Structure 1
Amino acid sequence: MTDPLSPAEIRAEVEARTGQRERDIAEELKISEAELLAAFTGAGVTRIAADPDRLMPAAERLGEVMALTRTRSAVHEKVGRYGGYHPGEHAAMVLAEEIDLRIFPKHWRHAFAVEKPTEAGLRRSLQVFDAAGDAVHKIFLREGSDPDAWRALVAELATGEDADRIEVAERMPPEAPKSDPAKADILRKEWRRLTDTHQFLRLCSKLKMNRLGAYRIAGAPFVRPLAPAAVTQMLEAVRDQGVEIMLFVGNRGCIQIHSGGIGTLKTMGPWQNILDPGFNLHLRADHVAEVWAVEKPTQRGPAVSVEAFDGHGALIFQVFGLGKEGRDSRPAWGALVESLAGLADAEPAE
């Protein structure tokens, strides 16, 4: 077993890889992204409080920024202002017009304020990581952001820690699909009784299943397996038909939501990209292993979603029809989902 890289060695490796993204460098060096940033503490990087109750209200003062939440398979970027923060011990929310987040504070463990020189000028960001050092949420300042508010935020939230090394925990693997075919009838019976989509995961937990495990045994009319190619088909139909959607991408610590339409789609290698002025999505289409059309009853009518999973069973994204008053795309979305290509001759996995 080789000795871990020292902070000085990490800095030297980063400086030798000009132009590469920190995440990619960290992967090459077999360290976490948080460990890489920590090595630059005092050299453009300041350790700050990772508490969302402090960080989110402070972010409201920055003006227009870009919010980024990612997994290994999808990067979700929204331009807007933070606001409407609702704290919570187990779950918190940001409910602003453009930036819509669900936050799980126990996974906000390390945070940094970063200033990095680039060809376009000084790039400022706030970056939050989980216990394993994986990115939870990032905020990037833009040309119109308030630099004075940035300086005040860093001074207010700085922890005073000056060590250029952090301890990280072992990364937790995604939970494998978990189901119990013997309970399939109970699952279907209870599924019909749902009145809110948030009740679904509680049902799964009660039956000792998880989301994908339940989908694999539920069958019609609750779920329909779709072909992986249905992801691109869906995005193109949303764009072409002007359907407004809610698109969720999340990790253990943060879920970020886009509400609205899609304008520009562009494929680049394995990446399928939405490239719109206030919203970008970068999706690794080659990671998509299973896609499901799902219908859950609610008090406002059926909630229809398209959900994609990777080969480890991790959720990549969920898409619902937007159901805001005066902007109800749910009927059009339901028809769109009905038109998507099914997985030929698919059998529920036991």
Structure 2
Amino acid sequence: MAQTPPLSAQDIRAARLEKSTLRERDLAEQLGISEAELMAAHVGHGVTRTTANPDRLMAAAEKLGEVLALTRTPSCVHEKLGRYANYHSGEHASMVLNEEIDLRIFPRHWVHGFALDQQTEKGLRRALLVFDAAGDAVHKIHLRDGSDHEAWAGVVADLALEMQDDTLRTEPREAPEPARARADRAGELRENWDKLTDTHQFLTMVSRLKMNRLGAYRVAGAPYVRPVAPQSLEALFTELSAKQVPVMVFVGNNGCIQIHSGPVTNIRMMGPWLNVLDPGFDMHLRNDHVAEVWEVHKPTRRGMAVSVEAFDSEGRIILQIFGVRKPQDRAAEFEAIASALPEAAPAEVLS
């Protein structure tokens, strides 16, 4: 059977015009291409190819004033309004660290960059977009009405690549890693778990034991972890809102983790979506993608770090929620809410 020839850039632009109301990600999925390929097809038509180097992008973003930072996975979208400031570069990991925008960046996944500048039916859209080698979105920086639009042209000119191709070659998408558990090493896991002094030591520890995060949770047992009913996140967010308990909400992909620190207030269920719709922070979670939820306890120098963590059916982490200790230590209130969540039924605990 003859293979269907790949879509040309002109074909992709025609599809975009025909289905102008669809989000780029949804249209790309319909066309069988990556979102980065969709962007590339519009080079010269409101899109400019740019560097994806985070050192240069973060410096450029700082010039744009207040913008919207967006990081997403297939199951969750995390949006923060603020300014890019206090950037720290690193070969393997970088960060933006301020009260509004808090990012952990893994530069090797920042592969393709674009600047979007298009007039739409809803108004002017301007954004800096970053994609990984497979063409999946890593991080997006959207300008708002209050952003410094006068700086935009200079920012794009500084970031633009010499080659402005309208086609893009992507690599195969990495398959999610399923849970890796070693029940025969449960004793070693618990012994090492007790010795943790920082949550950042956890992944190194479980990797050394030939496990990953989810696999270790399935093995550890009480008092280290507790399986929580998968559909309990709505109750968690509702209770956090009612008591105005500040939390840290982590959502990330391979290239970027984005963090909200503070209360969550306006909680709305819309179909399968669990939404936080607050000034300065929006989160959109596909509640029907949640397959496992765990209440996790990790010792640190400052005391026990308690989190609620959700995973999808393929073992990908969807989000993590921690209590906060600064400026006021209200972690105990978060722990009480987490401990009251209903436990998962035996059939809901995968092994």
Q: Would you say same fold, with TM above 0.5?
A: yes
CA contact (8 A) 1:10 1:36 kept: yes
What whole-Å deviation, never above 9, does each CA across 1:242-301 have from its counterpart, x for those lacking one? Answer: 100000000000000000001101111111110011100000000000000000000000
2:32 match: 30
Q: Distance in 1 between matches of 2:41 and 2:345?
A: 51
Q: Distance in 2 between matches of 1:348 and 1:201?
A: 21
Within a 5 Å distance, the mapping from 1:41-52 to structure 2 comes to 41-52=43-54
The letter for the 2-side match of 1:338 is S
How many residue pairs match? The answer is 349
Q: Which residue of 14, 23, 36 corresponds with 1:12?
A: 14
CA contact (8 A) 1:217 1:349 kept: no
1:261 match: 263
2:337 match: 336
Q: Which residue of 66, 73, 76 corresponds with 1:74?
A: 76
CA contact (8 A) 2:292 2:349 kept: no
The letter for the 2-side match of 1:281 is M
Q: Distance in 2 between matches of 1:200 and 1:123?
A: 41
Which SS does the other structure have where 2:139 is aligned? strand
Task: Tell whether 2:154 aligns with 1:152.
Answer: yes
How far apart are residue 6 of structure 1 and its match?
0.8
CA contact (8 A) 2:99 2:261 kept: no
Task: Tell whether 2:149 aligns with 1:136.
Answer: no
How far apart are residue 151 of structure 1 and its match?
1.1
Within a 5 Å distance, the mapping from 1:147-226 to structure 2 comes to 147-226=149-228
RMSD (CA atoms): 1.0
The letter for the 1-side match of 2:98 is A
Q: Distance in 1 between matches of 2:97 and 2:210?
A: 32
Residue 347 and residue 88 in structure 1: after superposition, are their counterparts in 2 closer, same or farther (change >3 A)? same
Q: Distance in 1 between matches of 2:74 and 2:12?
A: 22
How far apart are residue 327 of structure 1 and its match?
1.9
The letter for the 1-side match of 2:337 is L
CA contact (8 A) 1:127 1:135 kept: yes
CA contact (8 A) 1:217 1:348 kept: no
For normalisation by structure 2, the TM-score amounts to 0.98
2:240 match: 238
Which SS does the other structure have where 1:93 is aligned? strand
Runs of 4+ in 1 over 4 A off after TM superposition: 346-350
The letter for the 1-side match of 2:54 is P
Q: Percent identity of the aligned residues?
A: 58
Q: Distance in 2 between matches of 1:314 and 1:137?
A: 18
1:117 match: 119
CA contact (8 A) 2:292 2:348 kept: no
For normalisation by structure 1, the TM-score amounts to 0.98
How far apart are residue 347 of structure 1 and its match?
8.3
Q: Distance in 1 between matches of 2:140 and 2:282?
A: 14
1:64 match: 66
Which SS does the other structure have where 1:328 is aligned? coil
How far apart are residue 80 of structure 1 and its match?
0.5
5+ residue gaps in structure 1? none
Which SS does the other structure have where 2:303 is aligned? coil
Moved more, 151-160 or 99-108: 151-160
Q: Distance in 2 between matches of 1:118 and 1:15?
A: 11
